[in-house]
Chains A and B, each alone.
Chain A
Amino acid sequence: MATSEAKRGGGAGLGGILHFLALLLVIVVCVFPFYWMVTSSLKQQNVILASTPQFLFQPTLENYARAFSKFDILKSLQNSLFVALMTVGFSLLLGTPAAYAIARFDFKGKKDIWFWFISNRMLSPIVVALPFFLIARNFRLLDTPWALILIYLTFNVPIVVWICADQFRNIPKELDEAATLEGYNSFAIFWKIALPLATPGIAVSAIFSFIFSWNELLYALILTRSEAKTAPVVATSFMSGYELPWGQIMATGTLVALPVIVFSMIVSRQLVRGLTAGAIK
């Protein structure tokens, strides 16, 4: 009994200490590369290039000033924000009803539709990058955020469908049946009953599609030139040249990654809870 007490932790005993150390290791490993990037962005080039890592140093904002003067980083961050928010909005608008249909209705070809949604995510951007480029050129969508928003729907709608279908399935059917008896039609049931109850899942899928859109690189490299450049594209534009300006690279990297990381950390409770598909029991 004593051993099993220890095994259960409770913060005491050998098990508890090992548990503590293992958790600590996980945290350090998760955070360290990010910490290193942020601190490197505040270092002078010669401090970065020191062969013994410098944990204590005189912080400087020089790298940020230089990066800002070289590229229109603010503009690219704005572009990224616009593209990500629009993508999330449209993905939810299209994805939640589809998820509801898959969770609640039985119809011919349902399996195939579901699989088709999912397989949109399998599609490597490489496959459709050039065709989409040529088609977007025909519609004069190149170097506009709309080309990116449209193509990002192909991998974000599936995420919404996937997560939300799971969420809708967990809403007791008795609720639908009761509502039907009250005279609700199926759209009213979806809008007034299912949607509010599925909020955790919807929030999670919104967060994920925000992250995926913000972070996308390949399409953005191909479909934007100057006006609509997104933040990740700018972050990779330092990579040529002989001696790399590490401080500036890390400064841009920080500016690109930090907003999403902070946002995700704030909503992390939501994120974990929403992944719990059985939230409503």
Chain B
Amino acid sequence: MINVRINNRMKAGKKKKTYSSGAWFFLAPAVIVLFLVGIFPLLFALWNSLHQFILPKVHSQGSFLGVWPLFDAPFNWFGNYVALLTDQSFQEALTRTLIFLVINLPIQLVLGLAIALLLHKPGNELLKKIGRVSLVVPLATTFAVVGLMGRLLFNLDFGVLNYFCSVIFGHRLDWLADPNLAFVSISIMEDWQWTPFCALILFSSLTMVPVEIEEAARLETDKWWHILWKVQLPFMLPGITVILILRTADILKLFDVVYTMTRGGPGSATELISVFVQRIGFRVFDQGMASAQAVVMLVIATILSRLYVKYVYKEI
């Protein structure tokens, strides 16, 4: 069947892939499993977000068909969502997260690009080899452990980074107790961990630029940014899109590092949105509200990644 169809296509001189009958055979397993594991809890979260679901106050009412747990939480339409609009601490946490994103994503991208160019530049071969391997270290470090490292490195009394501060600036900085500095210090740990990811992706994109084209371009111009912009950038666009989408999603749900390093403190200075939602859901126990907040987050992440795909990288 497929045979005939492809033969026909080839006869017709069309080389484009158009056969489709087998697609679902390949897709079905993943779709079914992800649907069962991913969609059920998501629907449940949506259901929660429309109820006044405060953990200590609701009671289990058995389950529907043994699958869907039932509770006696009162239905309150869009009450949670309406409350969100006026909830200042939610808006602050959201703003804080967006600021964190807007500051750190460009830093990771630009530093990552710089490192990728360093690794791509000829010369110092041995050091580049070591560099490629050491870039893997931050990337592979358990996220929660990164937070623990941060607490050790930035400690006021014995943190080694603080020691360097006192050598350079003449005094120590109370990184984890000052609201702004705490924000900076979780940013530093986050950038430390993820800049190498950007660097490795961009580096491998750079190696895809055909050598002849790059050589020819080098004869044309002496300026590295011309080559970067005109020759190398087009090859890096898919990689950049991957970085933008993955990093946006990951920053919007960033939890581990903050949880182990500052727990959102001091005050709420580093309480990014996931930490905030976790507090509402599992420490204030307002699951209805937490679900509504989480749904709003999901919508934001989806919109942002749609935009990236649309404007940065059109082909999938």
Chain A residues with CB under 8 Å of chain B are 3-4, 7-11, 16, 19-20, 22-24, 26-27, 29-31, 33-34, 36-37, 40, 48-53, 90, 93-95, 97-98, 100-102, 104-108, 110-111, 113-115, 117-132, 134-135, 137-138, 150-151, 153-154, 157, 161-162, 166, 173, 177, 180-181, 183, 185-187, 190, 211, 214-215, 217-218, 222, 231-232, 235-236, 239, 246, 249-250, 253, 256-257, 260-261, 263-265, 268-269, 271-273, 275-278
Contact = CB atoms under 8 A, between A and B. Distances in A.
A272 B302 contact: no
B152 A16 contact: no
A7 B223 CA distance: 10
B289 interface: no
Contacts of B37: 150-151, 153-154
B92 interface: no
A127 B45 contact: yes
A281 B127 CA distance: 28
Q: Among B22, B31, B278, which residue has the most Cβ atoms of chain A within 10 A?
A: B22
A24 B249 CA distance: 31
A157 B158 contact: no
Contacts of B132: 268-269, 272
A221 B307 CA distance: 33
Interface of B: 2-3, 6-7, 10, 15-20, 22-27, 29-31, 33-34, 37-38, 40-42, 44-45, 48, 63, 66-69, 115, 118-119, 121-124, 127-128, 130-146, 148-149, 152-153, 157-158, 160, 163, 192, 196, 200-201, 203-205, 207-208, 218, 222, 224, 238, 242, 245-246, 249, 252-253, 255-256, 259-260, 274, 277-278, 281-282, 287, 290-291, 294-295, 297-298, 301-302, 305-306, 309, 316
Contacts of A157: 30, 33-34
Contacts of B295: 127
Given A124-B274, A126-B255, A185-B2, A30 B158 contact: no
Given A111-B316, A124-B297, A186-B2, A117 B34 contact: yes
B158 A50 contact: yes
A125 B255 contact: yes
B149 A37 contact: yes
Contacts of A52: 163
A131 B2 contact: no
A98 B145 CA distance: 33
A239 to B, nearest CB: 7
Contact of A261 (B137, B255, B259, B305): B137
Given A4-B218, A20-B124, A265-B137, 18 more contacts: A19-B118, A26-B134, A33-B146, A48-B152, A49-B157, A98-B27, A102-B27, A113-B27, A124-B274, A124-B294, A126-B253, A130-B45, A130-B290, A134-B44, A138-B67, A151-B37, A217-B142, A271-B136
A37 B142 CA distance: 12
Contact of A19 (B15, B124, B245): B124
Contacts of A95: 30
A44 to B, nearest CB: 13
19 contacts: A8-B121, A19-B124, A31-B137, A37-B152, A50-B158, A111-B316, A122-B298, A127-B295, A130-B291, A157-B33, A180-B3, A180-B6, A186-B25, A211-B140, A218-B256, A232-B145, A261-B136, A261-B141, A264-B140
Contacts of B160: 36, 53
Contact of B124 (A11, A34, A106, A153): A11
B200 A275 contact: yes
A17 B92 CA distance: 46
B40 A98 contact: no
B142 A19 contact: no
Contacts of B135: 26, 30, 268
Contacts of B192: 29-30, 33
Contacts of A31: 134, 137
B302 to A, nearest CB: 6
A268 B256 CA distance: 24
A215 B34 contact: no
A138 B29 contact: no
A132 to B, nearest CB: 4
Given A154-B34, A185-B2, A135 B40 contact: yes
B158 A138 contact: no
Contact of B134 (A27, A121, A126, A180): A27
